Amino acid sequence: MLKNVFSPITIKGKTMKNRLAVAPMVTNYCNEDGTCTEMFSAYHETKAKGGFGMIITEDFTVRPRGKGFKHLPGLWNDEQIPGFKEFTKRIHKHDTVLIAQIYHAGRQSSKMVLGEAPEAPSAIPCPFSPDMPEELSVEEIKKIITEFGDCARRAEDAGFDGIEVHGAHGYLISQFMSSYTNKRTDEYGGSLQNRIRFAVEIVKDIRSKVSKDFIVGYRISADEHVTGGRNIGDTLTIVPFLEEAGIDYIHVSAGVYRSFDDIIPSQYRGHSWNTDAAGEVKKITKLPVISVGRINDPRLAETIIASGKADIVAMGRQSLTDPETPNKAKEGRFDEIRNCIACHHGCVKNLLNNVPIQCILNPTLGRESKVALEKTEAPKNIMVIGSGPAGLEAAITAASRGHRVKVFEKNRWAGGQFRIGAVPPGKGEMINYINWQLNELKKLNVPVLMETEVTPELVKKEKPDVIFAATGAVPIIPNIPGIDRPNVVSAHDVLAGNVNTGNSIVVVGGGCVGAETANQLANYLKGVTIIEMLDAIAGDEIVVPRWDLLEDLEKNKVRICTKTTVDEITDAGVKVSGAVNEVIPCDTVVLAVGAKPVLGLADTLKKEGYDVRVIGDASKVGLGGEAIMEGFEVGRTI
């Protein structure tokens, strides 16, 4: 079925067994001095075992002042080589082509990371950094060029099959290439030829220091998607110069930090959205072209390659969520592939906080050598109450270890709040994860009894040794005059399809749940107003999904009243005060002011002497990733 994906391709004598590559992603898994760690090695080895034909490791820094994050790998001195030499040996055992991406962050860093000001072509700060960068002198530019070459030489000494020059995403090389960030008037600024000089000289310096069979790739943003930045036309003009300088493949990405939503798009963005740009590059070069960008299914990769738009497909976050994606696809086990939902809550959130990344759907990420599931020597009868992500994850993990597990759910559908969270626009892929969990339980022969409410009598009949109480949460009902009116409903009931609304709606609460519910209703062409007491809405969402949500709300003409509180719900509408003082007419009032744990049954069962482990929102109302991790841990340690 995937004849193109699973056909080999050879670059500089190195043969990839398939066309699936791991895209480079910052993990913060290395030591602060740039040396290798077991965490870094085990993380990448898991992907190699999972069948990827190529792994492009992230952001090897060419000099300490080039770091954009604190715990990046580095090859700026020879002392860093031995650790990575052992690393490359581990990866090569699995027949994987291994590429080290090398880079300098330029202005896209900070004093917090570097201990000094970043350096850049021009004194123009990055929107994500508070610090003014220092302009590089020509002497320093020449030095950095040689440092790229030296870094590549060390990568070859360490056993890598090649390097990828990071000329994308607004980092230093990209900064020189774009008039958006380069305002120099010397030989490294101004005209196109001057702006690409830095990149061309880097490639030539690398070529002079590595063997002829060593792969030299190049990553480029086809379009920077900022006013005054490079576009696809500029990129098509630049690529032949890079090819002439000596690169062996071109990796087509997009964006700079100001257009961060193009570098790491959220679930609001369509699949393989950047592939057409790769196709344009493919038309003007004979080099292998890599496409990347929201590709989370090998069948998407197959169509991209079959269309002729790319030779190789890179999967970044998909390799975090399921590092075994290639092997499962090759064996036709598509329903066993756990798909990335582009939520940003584990990977990007941690990245922006300069801590090791996680994946909310993969509790083992970053802990691959520490959390192997061991078979139990004392199988227990485990009753799981609730089929939200925490309960299902606990059931999967416990059953995988040999425990006898049953899951009980009082509702028609599994998934709990996670399923309801998939209802608003742009969030539909969250359902895929619940489907994956149910499929895993089916493989493990774990019964999932739907529309079965657990009572103390049922528990007595089942005689469990342990109970996992994943009973979830219910909406908080605030003490507001008029709250008991029949036209007042919860966001939970609206998204679950339990109630309908009128055409004029006030949503009370502008957190993520309230904002997404408002977007859902406005998408149905209803008039919606959000009331939020804080100074901004959706403050609990991550940067890029929040940008996308706010853009959608604006498109759907949702009125947003911040720094405003609800005083009363009356016949005339909702009376508010603060930044806005008026009565807002409406047919329906939707409450989205938080949730509280459901603990009644768990407390009763504890009093009756049962061993009850409370998990998920029933333990503490939070995000899906926290619930999944809690479910995994209770299943792993029982």
* Residues with catalytic roles: 171
Question: For residue 331, what are the β-bridge partners?
Answer: none
Sign of CA dihedral 481, 484, 486, 487: positive
Find the Cα–Cα–Cα–Cα dihedral 378, 381, 384, 389, rounded to 10°. 40
Q: Token pair of 388, please?
A: 């939200």
Q: In 188-319, at which residue ranges do the beta strands (DSSP E only) sit?
A: 215-221, 249-253, 289-291, 312-315
- Is residue 326 within 8 Å of 50, Cβ to Cβ? yes
Cβ atoms of residues 181 and 175 within 8 Å: yes
Kindly report the length of the chain: 638
Contacts 24+ apart (CB under 8 A), 39-42: 39/356, 39/366, 39/369, 40/73, 40/87, 41/86, 41/87, 41/90, 42/368, 42/369
Measured between alpha carbons, how far is 411 from 433 in angstroms, rounded to an integer? 18
Backbone angles phi, psi at 416, to 5 degrees: 55, -140
- Phi, psi angles (nearest 5°) of residue 527: -85, 125
Compute CA distances 392 → 5, 343, 400, whole Å: 32, 20, 12
CA distances from 201 to 64, 233, 241, 242 (A): 21, 22, 11, 10
Q: Calculate the CA dihedral of residues 419, 420, 425, 431 and round it to 10 degrees.
A: 10
Cα separations in angstroms, 590 against 100, 164, 428, 518: 51, 51, 21, 9
SS3 260: helix
Q: How far apart are CA 38 and CA 29, in angstroms?
A: 9
CA 67 to chain centre: 21
**How far is residue 372 from each of residues 46, 400, 404, 585, measured CA to CA in Å?**
12, 11, 19, 57
CA dist., res. 96 & res. 77, Å (int) = 26
Question: Which long-range contacts (C-beta less than 8 Å, at least 24 apart) are formed by 114-120?
Answer: 114/64, 114/65, 114/67, 116/65, 118/65, 119/65, 119/172, 120/172, 120/175, 120/181
